[in-house]
Structure 1
């Protein structure tokens, strides 16, 4: 297993541990931190292991951070509407 895949596994384990603890702010600060660390890890995995494995790691990260992804999709969809954003 490459170092990038080990980093991706550690990221996923950390994300799941963070999700277990209660939070007053619904985990948004942790989500921003996970996004900031996760994007370079996905790029590193893609560079070391190829685009297919990179897409698998991206999909795994998106499944963990599904609420930020939903808000992003909603925001992009609203940009296409007249008078949006």
Structure 2
């Protein structure tokens, strides 16, 4: 499934969210820090789908996040951040 703007909620001027209802496997929402023109550019590659996949990882807490410099990686988006639950978890800037 391709992510469109209809799937993305604007929370603040520079904060966007793909709700965890987007995909049944998502455990947390997926959030994007970007201006609207930058969000449009981000949607050109697979980085938002990778962000959704990160939001589906076991143990993830809070939200999966991408910074304004996000771009497609090898499974985990470059510019992505995720935290997993304690005590086995970690905060991972880049998977």
TM-score with structure 2 length normalisation? 0.26
CA radius of gyration, larger in: 1
Structure with the larger strand share: 2
TM-score with structure 1 length normalisation? 0.27
Structure with the larger helix share: 1
